[in-house]
A and B are shown apart, each in its own frame.
Chain A
Amino acid sequence: DAKTTQPNSMESNEEEPVHLPCNHSTISGTDYIHWYRQLPSQGPEYVIHGLTSNVNNRMASLAIAEDRKSSTLILHRATLRDAAVYYCILRDKVQGAQKLVFGQGTRLTINP
């Protein structure tokens, strides 16, 4: 599986936007970019995914660089409940790589 690189931790303030970066310079043309998050004492939770175009859903937005070697998860207005570890994961579309390979993720702290 292609690797991703994320900062170990980030901090932001409540009600401000948060931009979580992810580098994936070895991404292949068939890799989807997935984001999951894990709140304290819970299992990971799907956030969003994309292939080439930017994506929006009720939880977040995903901005994908034109060369697809990096992406950014955007939380438009962070709340205290967004404090979690965020994982950026690549999944092969063609091979249907079933397993999720989790890195260390980014631990996001939200200050009141």
Chain B
Amino acid sequence: NAGVTQTPKFRILKIGQSMTLQCTQDMNHNYMYWYRQDPGMGLKLIYYSVGAGITDKGEVPNGYNVSRSTTEDFPLRLELAAPSQTSVYFCASSVPGTKTGELFFGEGSRLTVL
């Protein structure tokens, strides 16, 4: 079991470029999430999905898009990258209906926008 796998681990973008952060999980979890983590700011929810074909905005969705065509994959698209999107991005998954909210995280993708 690989768990949650994110690619790439590191990326440098120029302002205005676009890219997709990939996330795949092999635990057959219905729920998946994208968070960003900035120093001293904790984790902020960008988008989440409760199943294939269903996505919804989190706390900080501006500048991002997602899709969920399969249970396993939940890519995050950055359009017109801006310096404010420099951050560490974490994909996570969870089992639906759990009250305790245990999320399983990937190792993160570090993005720098210059």
Asked if A and B bind, the verdict is no
B residues apposed to A, CB below 8 Å = none
